[in-house]
Amino acid sequence: TTSLRFFNVFGPRQDPNGAYAAAVPIFIEKAVKGQDITIHGDGQQTRDFIYVKDIVDALVFAAFNNDMHGTFNVGYGGKITINELAQNILASIQTKSKIVYANKRAGDVRHSRASAEKLKTSGWQPKHSLEEGLAATLDFFKDKLLK
């Protein structure tokens, strides 16, 4: 049995308005619309984001690798602060939006980062950088929201 544990997946077509909406689509939608981005807490929380195409690639890799057994974390194995993520998105869109801060949400994890060495040792590596994934996601949302 093989189990894959995904960390902070993002990409085109991700719903920015659902009950479990993630930071990337929310921030992008707000920036494209010229609305302020709200960060809960001080923004120094860190996350390990991974592009959806890398998730698909990891699933295919695991499905066809009979030597894999156990639980594997799927992430870049890196980290970025929520402040840095928001600043990168704002800089890429060139918007009038700004970052505003709200109270920290109860239960929010301060730092989350995948320990992805086990999966990498099996021969899988992400193919897309965070920047590449963000650029593709930004392009999708710009096309969708600016039509």
pLDDT tens track for 47-104: 999 999 999 999 999 999 988 999 999 999 899 999 999 999 999 988 899 999 999 9
Q: Which domain holds residue 83?
A: 2-145
Return mean pLDDT, the chain: 93
pLDDT of 35 over the 80 cut: yes
What tokens appear for 128 in the block?
């897309």
pLDDT of 24 over the 90 cut: yes
- pLDDT tens per residue, range 10-20: 999 999 888 77
pLDDT of 147 over the 80 cut: no
Return the pLDDT at 18.
80
Task: With CA atoms as reference, report the closest residue to 51 among 144, 118, 117, 140.
Answer: 140
Domain count, the chain: 1
Residues 6 or more apart in contact with residue 111 via CB below 8 angstroms: 45, 46, 79
Domain CATH code at residue 13:
3.40.50.720
